[in-house]
Amino acid sequence: MSPAGGTPPDWLLPPDPGTRRVARKLLAGIEGLPIVSPHGHVPVGLLADDAAFGTPVDLFLRPDHYAFRMLYSQGIPLEAAGLRPRDRAAVPGEPPDPDADRAAWRTFAANQHLFRGTPTGAWLRRTMELVFGIRTTLDASTADAVYDALAERIADPAYRPRRILERFGIEVICTTDEATDTLDEHRLLHLDGLGGRVRPTFRPDAVMEIAAPGWRAALETLAARAGIGIGSVAELLEALRIRRAAFRALGAVATDHAAATPWTEVLAAPEAEAIFRRALRGAASEDDARRFRGHLLVEMAGMSVEDGLVMQLHPGSFRNHNPTIFDRFGPDKGADIPVAVDFTHGLRALLDRHGNDPRLRLILFTLDETTYARELAPLAGHYPALRLGPPWWFHDSPRGIERYLDRVTETAGIANLAGFNDDSRSLVAIPARHEVWRRSVAGWLAGLVVRHVVRDEEAHEMARDLAVDLARSAYGLPEGSVPGAA
Amino acid sequence: MSPAGGTPPDWLLPPDPGTRRVARKLLAGIEGLPIVSPHGHVPVGLLADDAAFGTPVDLFLRPDHYAFRMLYSQGIPLEAAGLRPRDRAAVPGEPPDPDADRAAWRTFAANQHLFRGTPTGAWLRRTMELVFGIRTTLDASTADAVYDALAERIADPAYRPRRILERFGIEVICTTDEATDTLDEHRLLHLDGLGGRVRPTFRPDAVMEIAAPGWRAALETLAARAGIGIGSVAELLEALRIRRAAFRALGAVATDHAAATPWTEVLAAPEAEAIFRRALRGAASEDDARRFRGHLLVEMAGMSVEDGLVMQLHPGSFRNHNPTIFDRFGPDKGADIPVAVDFTHGLRALLDRHGNDPRLRLILFTLDETTYARELAPLAGHYPALRLGPPWWFHDSPRGIERYLDRVTETAGIANLAGFNDDSRSLVAIPARHEVWRRSVAGWLAGLVVRHVVRDEEAHEMARDLAVDLARSAYGLPEGSVPGAA
Amino acid sequence: MSPAGGTPPDWLLPPDPGTRRVARKLLAGIEGLPIVSPHGHVPVGLLADDAAFGTPVDLFLRPDHYAFRMLYSQGIPLEAAGLRPRDRAAVPGEPPDPDADRAAWRTFAANQHLFRGTPTGAWLRRTMELVFGIRTTLDASTADAVYDALAERIADPAYRPRRILERFGIEVICTTDEATDTLDEHRLLHLDGLGGRVRPTFRPDAVMEIAAPGWRAALETLAARAGIGIGSVAELLEALRIRRAAFRALGAVATDHAAATPWTEVLAAPEAEAIFRRALRGAASEDDARRFRGHLLVEMAGMSVEDGLVMQLHPGSFRNHNPTIFDRFGPDKGADIPVAVDFTHGLRALLDRHGNDPRLRLILFTLDETTYARELAPLAGHYPALRLGPPWWFHDSPRGIERYLDRVTETAGIANLAGFNDDSRSLVAIPARHEVWRRSVAGWLAGLVVRHVVRDEEAHEMARDLAVDLARSAYGLPEGSVPGAA
């Protein structure tokens, strides 16, 4: 996205000169603020080990479903993008074959034109420049030079993960962790004094999806971790409570829930129990799964009322839409496809029970942009418990951010938003992702100023809110709350 | 929305200098036109009594669900916003406790930042300036001064409701009235010579919702008002016809229908009768209710063909989504949440029967913006009976207006639109709401002019159409049709 | 859309001066490129006969559902727009009554204001100027003069269909032809050396819709054309294969499929056979029809894998929504209304079977813009077989193009698009339609350049891609592949 020679100062700002002037000033007021990253998927082991990042392909292609899905869509096999099929999976710790790795990079480089106008392209170019000081335009002719330059930087201890946290002012970063996680790595980070800065997030999807193949195994692990037997719904809930406490003890501020749909309902105890028993027998139907998940979501909201963990819900992705790819390569291979969702009916049961309780903080994310103005803004503009998460996944792009702000703020204001989170799997991409958000916010707010919708000083406050302060307040991470952060 | 020191002349106009110049000229051509307000919810008693408006809280907060829902969403109890629970309802005529009233105002003032960038904030500031001459920015520090200034103006007979009609050139205003209304207040307005200027609108929802708790009572009141017994569908229809005639006699030009969905169908007479009998026994199902409503909507369209009343339909709101709030405070407390709707299948039966009849005028409103381009514009661009109502409720904001015009005009043109209506519950907010529309229209049309999509003189005509003339023609309120109006 | 005196050079370009400068340069690089038109509805007979176009009404009103639907929506009977009811259909070859024809034109002229801001209006004005050299603004006062001028041009051999192809650089044009078509006219074009330039497209809808009234007749014609009996699903598939080969022999590069929904599924052979037998008995249900269509779509994708025909699918139109108009005037009378669709679940079966096969090229079109960002871009950004068709029908307007590019490119890039196709029924409108696309593309890309999202030289390449090259590659029509084209 950035021209060769480096990112111009007006990158992503609106073209009208008067609006651009205002946007520049707004941006100047927020570009240096610390980064608060309350939701993302950086592997905690990366920060616990603080080892070097691996190869450029490990950093920019192999783990990035945005990147390799685009190559795949143009007929390039995933293997050629550096991925290994399940049956030829890497031995842990084994480095990739250097020739294959460099070949994957060359393929990536030679296909950079595919990313024109995409946020994936923008994040890549900006991260290479910002984090690694590489301004060379990546293409077939520069592939090797860029690979070598990146490899050299990666080998330098100055580019280790924890140094990235410091250099870019990442004040706090929340990882995402299975409910069954040992949390050993988070414990290690605590011992290293990074406990408040790197925090776990409680994600119990695997133990809530009673019709999924791995559910029984996940349940058994949960029982083992919680140290109780799980033979009933009450015991399942108790085990979840025990694990939530363990996560909170290590600094967790939130839970995180994916769901095929936003459906919630309150099952009568005997009905919940009957479904659970069918699930234990391996006989739960898809409808059982939907209803039981809906029931557990209401229970999880109730636990959040009790223990204060912010609840995050992001429904509406058809996971692993492509069975061929799933069978060969596993999940998260770029084949999760959004579907239309109905928050208005779906969340009724949960909100009826807990939506008026100011102790609950429920943050909603959507992949169905039609719900921004139709459902989410009206819901968040009414229920005290609700906040709206930022545009997510396919939508945290410059245009996606603009659509989001246009559609939610007129009804919900900005105080009902949860600010930004980068949702990144890549630690090094975090600064670029926040920069895209901050630049887009500055440009959008400048549009309000020049149309005299808000005053200049109001826009400056709104910019700070959207850049950091709303994320802090939504997740309970106020300034000064993170020991060791600047 | 307006900066301190008053609204700048370019409020809401596009920032590009060339476009803004065109927009200013277009605005100049329409800003002084009379206001035609064919759909809204100003209480008719206000105009019948022509008494002072009450307190500033009575005027700007207590009846405004946009305002108090935002406070509530941020954890402020509705009581603190001046609302009284049902079980402590005000005795009619009893003034509010002055201390509590002022405290509510202070809460409102101290939370004005919540309304940044919202139309609610814009309407408030602009109304205070335009109607009451108050340019002070409302915040915690100015709360009392603004309260006192407003209270002084309100006490001044120059600020009585009927004077507001005159001062702001409100040529005609249609109220919304239950099908069972006595119409006594409209009769009084007729005696005072305001008959053509203030008109009732026939809203029969309560007698059409056979599964709603109050239906039997509403039906009995309808029977009493119509002076016939209602023991069959035919008698129900006859009673509705009688009441429509009573409304027309007092100047009504339209009916108004809310509906959970836009479903319509034609039931065979015995089936309709069977459902009606189940309803009388209190045994109607939700599905019965949906089908019977759909049947009655077709019948109402047929009556419109006969008597010429314009039919307005606005489906897709899940009413009273929050039972806790409903139980404590009643309906219309900011908890009506939109849902996705399907006009294409839903309206088929009605349009099949009456859609080709030029004697029918059916005006459609939506809360589901996805239907603008997908369904509503294609339908209105074909069926002679259809017109599209303006963006409504959560969508009559600057951005909402832009989205509406962008999405409907390329397919339906502007001749298939019904112009603007303010849908306001607040008489004093009407001028500001029309101003937001007119400014947004001027800015949008200027965008067409500078891209050479329409010529300058065409844009001027389109601006007049959108400001007033389409509303006049859609509702049959041509210039000069209102006795006593300027 | 173009001002009197001719289209200004900046027609449709963005108003900001800096952006406009960039847009002009981008446009300059593509406006002279040849036109590739791989999908449209120009009657092949027009090109086979190469006769004069008929009257101005034959050219601009009678066949144009965009035009006469707008008149009809405003209460003008279709007869007054020059259409004849089925029971008074024209005798083939019989010219229209001259007085009635001129009267229809006058009606059209006097109602040009209805088309302000619509693409229909823009295409008309620009076509009259570009193709016929008429810059007079059409209105009531100029109706006769314009009619006469057009009639004079039409009579001139320089305005015959094949000359239009040459004058406007229409390098290749694909017509749409029933699976049961004799292809005699395409054969004639081959004999005239126009075989590669005018190509048929295989459209088997009529033989796939087993619950439609005309299905049995269509099936019998198919059997006759294919020269085999059709008594089983296997024979149906064999007949389709035979016909596909006949189409390919005459230059076809694609098939084309309308469908009420995008549903696909793989039926077990006995179930497919059972449904087929019910259909032969006239006893197929709506659900049978949906499932059988879904099954055949998967079969057709399989045939495309084998024979290389590009598969085009455009679901989501409720055809003939207005039975009154259908009964009196037949299909395609402006009463096809879009509905919401679900590609994510709907296409699963087809993509599961063939979506990873690079030999399949499936181009998707939608009338439900909400699917752009939610479903289509994520699907096309993953599956190798998929490309996204351009905005279609109600959406190939300046604003519609902008919404499309904004919503699909950030996720799918532009390499997963199929470029533009005009979908035109009118040969003379093709240049204007491509011009609207090219101007809109130039303006949109200029917006990326000035916000530094893409570099200038990238934008120039993207402009060429979107103007012609993506259409060439998506349909397998590379430069130089068309014998006889410039």
What one-character-per-residue DSSP string does C154-222 give? HHSGGGSHHHHHHHTTEEEEE--EETT---HHHHHHHHTT-TTTEE--EE-HHHH-TTSTTHHHHHHHH
E runs forming strands in B247-402:
254-259, 310-315, 317-318, 337-338, 362-364, 386-388
- Give Cα C179 distance to the centre of its chain: 17
Q: How large is the average pLDDT for residues A186-203?
A: 97
Chain B / chain C CB contacts < 8 angstroms: 135
Residue type, A156: D
Cα distance from N-terminal residue to C-terminal residue, chain A: 31
Run of H or E including B456: helix B456-464
Of B298, B324, B323, B319, the residue nearest B211 (C-alpha): B319
- Take residue A178 and report the two structure tokens written for it: 């299975």
To 5 degrees, how large is the angle CA A451–CA B442–CA B414?
Answer: 135
- Asked if B72 and A407 come within 8 Å (Cβ–Cβ), the reply is no
Q: How large is the average pLDDT for residues C250-259?
A: 98
Q: Is C225 helix (H, G, I), strand (E, B) or coil?
A: helix
pLDDT value for A485: 60
- Asked if B356 and C325 come within 8 Å (Cβ–Cβ), the reply is yes
Residues B25-59 pLDDT 10s: 999 999 999 999 999 999 999 999 999 999 999 99
Among B72, B115, B337, the residue with its CB nearest the CB of A413 is B115
Q: Which residues of A touch C406 (CB under 8 A)?
A: 399
Neighbours of chain C (3+ CB pairs under 8 A): A, B
**B248 pLDDT exceeds 90?**
yes
pLDDT value for B485: 59
How far apart are the C-alpha atoms of A61 and A58, rounded to whole Å?
A: 6
- Asked if B375 and C339 come within 8 Å (Cβ–Cβ), the reply is yes
For residue B6, the chain A residue with the least C-alpha distance is A452
Residues B358-380 pLDDT 10s: 999 999 999 999 999 999 999 99
pLDDT value for A5: 59
**C3 pLDDT exceeds 50?**
no
Among B15, B122, B340, the residue with its CB nearest the CB of A19 is B15
- Take residue B120 and report the two structure tokens written for it: 């609610």
pLDDT value for C2: 39
Contact B467, B460 (CB under 8 A): no
pLDDT value for A96: 85
pLDDT value for A2: 39
How far apart are the C-alpha atoms of C151 and C139, rounded to whole Å?
A: 17
Residues A408-446 pLDDT 10s: 999 999 999 999 999 999 999 999 999 999 999 999 999
Q: How large is the average pLDDT for residues A87-104?
A: 87
pLDDT more than 90, % of chain A: 94
- Beta-bridge partners for A37: A173
Cα A485 to Cα A30, A37, A50, C402: the distances in Å are: 18, 13, 17, 44
- Asked if C2 and B407 come within 8 Å (Cβ–Cβ), the reply is no
> Which residue in B394, B436, B450 has the most chain A C-beta atoms within 10 A of its own C-beta, making it the best mutation to test that interface?
B394
Q: Which residues of A touch B394 (CB under 8 A)?
A: 373, 377-378, 410-411
Q: Is C93 helix (H, G, I), strand (E, B) or coil?
A: coil
Q: Which residue ranges form the domains of chain B, and what is each CATH number? A: 52-159 (1.10.2020.10), 169-475 (3.20.20.140)
**A3 pLDDT exceeds 70?**
no
- Beta-bridge partners for A254: A310
pLDDT value for B95: 82
For residue A68, the chain C residue with the least C-alpha distance is C382
Q: How large is the average pLDDT for residues B461-473?
A: 98
Among C374, C377, C458, the residue with its CB nearest the CB of A116 is C458
Among A344, A355, A448, the residue with its CB nearest the CB of B338 is A344
**B1 pLDDT exceeds 70?**
no
Q: Which residues of C touch A119 (CB under 8 A)?
A: 410
Among C12, C17, C336, the residue with its CB nearest the CB of B451 is C12
E runs forming strands in C20-106:
35-37
> Which residue in B341, B359, B453 has the most chain C C-beta atoms within 10 A of its own C-beta, making it the best mutation to test that interface?
B453
Contact A252, A201 (CB under 8 A): yes
Residues A258-282 pLDDT 10s: 999 999 999 999 999 999 999 999 9
Neighbours of chain B (3+ CB pairs under 8 A): A, C
For residue C367, the chain B residue with the least C-alpha distance is B374
For residue A22, the chain B residue with the least C-alpha distance is B15
Neighbours of chain A (3+ CB pairs under 8 A): B, C
> Which residue in C108, C116, C129, C370 has the most chain B C-beta atoms within 10 A of its own C-beta, making it the best mutation to test that interface?
C116
- Beta-bridge partners for C388: C364, C417
Q: What is the Rg, in whole angstroms, of the alpha carbon atoms belonging to chain A?
A: 22
**A90 pLDDT exceeds 80?**
no
> Which residue in B341, B374, B416 has the most chain C C-beta atoms within 10 A of its own C-beta, making it the best mutation to test that interface?
B374
How far apart are the C-alpha atoms of A414 and A405, rounded to whole Å?
A: 9
Contact B80, B107 (CB under 8 A): yes
pLDDT value for A92: 74
pLDDT value for B88: 84
Sign of the CA dihedral with A58 first, then A60, A64, and A70 last: negative
Q: How large is the average pLDDT for residues A297-313?
A: 98
Among A342, A382, A461, the residue with its CB nearest the CB of B322 is A382
Question: Mean pLDDT over all residues of chain A?
Answer: 96
Run of H or E including A432: helix A430-450
For residue A398, the chain C residue with the least C-alpha distance is C410
What are the helix (H) ranges across B209-311? 215-226, 233-249, 269-280, 286-307
- Residue/partner pairs of C300-304 with CB below 8 Å, 24 or more apart: C300/C204, C300/C240, C300/C255, C300/C257, C301/C350, C301/C353, C301/C354, C301/C360, C301/C362, C301/C385, C302/C353, C302/C354, C303/C237, C303/C240, C303/C241, C303/C244, C304/C255, C304/C354, C304/C359, C304/C360, C304/C361, C304/C362
How far apart are the C-alpha atoms of C22 and C88, rounded to whole Å?
A: 54
Among C115, C339, C369, the residue with its CB nearest the CB of B413 is C115
Closest-CA distance, B7 to chain A, in angstroms, reads: 8
ipTM for this model: 0.97
How far apart are the C-alpha atoms of C253 and C352, rounded to whole Å?
A: 24
Residues B155-189 pLDDT 10s: 999 999 999 999 999 999 999 999 999 999 999 99
Q: What are phi and psi of C197, to 5 degrees?
A: -90, -35
- Asked if A348 and B114 come within 8 Å (Cβ–Cβ), the reply is no
- Asked if B352 and C15 come within 8 Å (Cβ–Cβ), the reply is no
**C395 pLDDT exceeds 80?**
yes
Q: What are phi and psi of A54, to 5 degrees?
A: 95, -150
Q: Which residues of A touch B8 (CB under 8 A)?
A: 452
Number of residues in chain C: 486
Q: Which residues of B touch A381 (CB under 8 A)?
A: 69-70, 73, 334
Q: How large is the average pLDDT for residues A156-185?
A: 98
For residue C69, the chain B residue with the least C-alpha distance is B382
Among C16, C356, C374, the residue with its CB nearest the CB of A16 is C16
> Which residue in C374, C454, C458 has the most chain A C-beta atoms within 10 A of its own C-beta, making it the best mutation to test that interface?
C374
- Asked if B72 and A382 come within 8 Å (Cβ–Cβ), the reply is yes
Question: Mean pLDDT over all residues of chain C?
Answer: 96
> Which residue in A108, A116, A396 has the most chain C C-beta atoms within 10 A of its own C-beta, making it the best mutation to test that interface?
A116
Closest-CA distance, B24 to chain A, in angstroms, reads: 13
Q: Which residues of A touch C407 (CB under 8 A)?
A: 399
Other beta carbons within 10 angstroms of residue C422's beta carbon come to: 28
Q: Is the pTM here over 0.90, yes or no?
A: yes
- Give Cα B300 distance to the centre of its chain: 20
Q: Give the pLDDT band of residue A299 (cuts 50, 70, 90).
A: very high
Burial (CB count within 10 angstroms: exposed 0-12, middle 13-18, buried 19+), residue C288: middle
- Asked if C356 and A323 come within 8 Å (Cβ–Cβ), the reply is no
Among A10, A117, A325, the residue with its CB nearest the CB of C414 is A117
Burial (CB count within 10 angstroms: exposed 0-12, middle 13-18, buried 19+), residue C483: exposed
**A105 pLDDT exceeds 90?**
yes
**B3 pLDDT exceeds 50?**
no
Of A336, A327, A334, the residue nearest A87 (C-alpha): A327
How far apart are the C-alpha atoms of A242 and A108, rounded to whole Å?
A: 45
